[in-house]
């Protein structure tokens, strides 16, 4: 356990450094916003393009993996949604809380950290988890909130939803990588080195931006935020382990990556969504803060378990 903790410690140390810089105002919110944009649109996109351009779609797509992940994550999403509704939360708030309890920070934390800790073979399963989270669950949340606001989430909503997904640089960079690889186009050395240079900036910049973004967060509704954090860090990986190891047996290496991805803290983009729709942004912020802080201990435990068999 100690060696795994020491392996993950540098990643969380960079998050802590970003948090300290934010608290001391050495790195103000405006700087965090621009650093996040750099990671989102350039560094992480370069990393994802470089990963996918060297892979074929068949290397990533695994229907058994998809069934296991959707069964576990979708099932937990439904349970969280029902529990929130039973507590009296409105439809939109229940939707956001369900997403907090099930969707992890795969893009900014999972791919940079787990790709290093679990090796290059972890890239295809991580990309598949990221794709399912963004295409399936982000779309589901958008449609449910639209319905809660009295909208009509029918065919007319599919156009804006599709354009929003394709406008996401993470999705766009992966699609571009697959298209490039599918066309059989070579990657010139200069292009590859540029992508590698940009991609290398993704890990430290993303981690620092996560920490700096946590500096201004406050804990609102701590009991609810604490429960959502527990769901994300403990219940979600347990549900994924049940689905991937017993219900829909997945190849062991890919199953381990799926479980590790499920153990990640609450995704930061949920806050952006909550703020955009004006649905419990402080509660989401608190869930991100609590789950990220607690993941310093829980993520090494999960990684130690999966790497130990």
More confident residue, 211 or 155: 211
Number of C-beta neighbours around residue 51 at 10 A: 22
Confirm if 212 and 38 have CB atoms less than 8 A apart: no
Provide the pLDDT for residue 12.
92
At residue 217, the pLDDT reads 76
Task: Give per-residue pLDDT as tens, 224-237.
Answer: 999 999 999 999 99
Using CA atoms of 231, 234, 237, 243 in order, give the dihedral in degrees to the nearest 10: -80
Q: Which residues fall within 8 angstroms of residue 144, CB to CB, at 6 or more apart? A: 91, 92, 95, 153
pLDDT attached to residue 78: 97
Q: Copy the structure tokens of residue 268.
A: 């930061």
Q: Give the integer Cα–Cα distance in Å for 130 and 124.
A: 10
Nearest 10 degrees: CA dihedral of 258, 234, 102, 5? -60
Lowest mean pLDDT among 70-74, 217-221, 250-254: 217-221
d(CA 197, CA 193): 6
Reduce the secondary structure of 209-247 to three states and give it as a string.
HHHHHHCCCCCCCHHHHHHHHHHHHHHHHHHHHHHHHHH
In the chain, the N- to C-terminal Cα span, in Å, equals 13
Q: What is the pLDDT of residues 83-139, one digit of tens each?
A: 999 999 999 999 999 999 999 999 888 888 898 889 889 999 999 999 999 889 888
Give residue 165's pLDDT.
62
pLDDT at 152: 57
Neighbouring C-alpha atoms within 13 Å toward the C-beta of 120: 6
d(CA 138, CA 136): 6
CA atoms within 13 Å, Cβ hemisphere of 289: 20
Q: How far is CA 295 from CA 117, 227, 253, in A?
A: 15, 14, 22
**Residue 264 in this model has a pLDDT that exceeds 90:** yes
pTM of the model: 0.88
Residue 58 neighbours by CB under 8 Å, 6+ apart: none
What the block records as the tokens of 161 is 């939803």
pLDDT confidence bin for 70, thresholds 50/70/90: very high
Task: Please say whether the structural domain 2-307 has been given the CATH code 1.10.630.10.
Answer: no
* pLDDT one-digit tens code per residue, 165-194: 666 788 889 889 988 988 888 999 999 999
The stretch 37-50 carries a mean pLDDT of: 91
In this prediction, residue 104 carries a pLDDT of: 94
Residue boundaries of the structural domains of the chain: 2-307
The confidence score (pLDDT) of residue 261 equals 96
pLDDT at 88: 92
Which range is least confidently modeled, 2-6, 86-90, 172-176, 201-205?
A: 2-6
- Residue 288's pLDDT is 92
Share of the chain above pLDDT 90, in %: 55
Residue 160: the pLDDT is 57
CA 107-306-242 angle, to 5 degrees, is 85
């Amino acid at each position: 356990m100690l060696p795994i903790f020491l392996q993950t410690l540098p990643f969380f140390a960079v998050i802590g450094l970003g948090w300290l810089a934010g608290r001391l105002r050495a790195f103000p919110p405006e700087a965090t916003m621009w650093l996040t944009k750099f990671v989102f649109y350039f560094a992480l996109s370069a990393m994802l393009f470089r990963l996918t351009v060297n892979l074929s779609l068949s290397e990533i797509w695994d229907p058994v993996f998809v069934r296991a992940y959707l069964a576990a994550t979708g099932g937990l999403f439904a349970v969280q949604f029902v529990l929130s509704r039973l507590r009296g939360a409105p439809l939109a708030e229940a939707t956001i809380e369900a997403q907090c309890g099930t969707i992890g920070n795969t893009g900014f934390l999972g791919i940079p950290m787990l790709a290093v800790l679990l090796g290059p073979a972890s890239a295809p399963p991580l990309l598949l988890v990221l794709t399912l989270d963004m295409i399936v669950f982000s779309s589901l949340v958008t449609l449910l909130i639209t319905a809660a606001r009295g909208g009509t989430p029918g065919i007319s909503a599919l156009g804006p939803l599709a354009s929003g997904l394709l406008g996401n640089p993470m999705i766009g960079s992966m699609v571009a990588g697959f298209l490039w690889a599918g066309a059989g186009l070579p990657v010139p050395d200069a292009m590859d080195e540029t992508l590698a240079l940009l991609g290398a900036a993704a890990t430290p910049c993303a981690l620092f931006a996560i920490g700096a973004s946590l500096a201004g967060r406050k804990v609102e509704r701590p009991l609810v935020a604490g429960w959502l954090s527990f769901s994300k860090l403990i219940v979600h990986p347990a549900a994924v382990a049940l689905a991937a190891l017993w219900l829909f047996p997945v190849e062991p290496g890919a199953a381990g990556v799926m479980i590790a991805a499920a153990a990640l803290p609450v995704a930061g983009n949920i806050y952006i969504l909550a703020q955009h729709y004006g649905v419990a942004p402080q509660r989401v912020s608190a869930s991100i803060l609590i789950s990220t802080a607690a993941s310093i201990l829980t993520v090494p435990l999960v990684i130690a378990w999966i790497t130990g068999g």
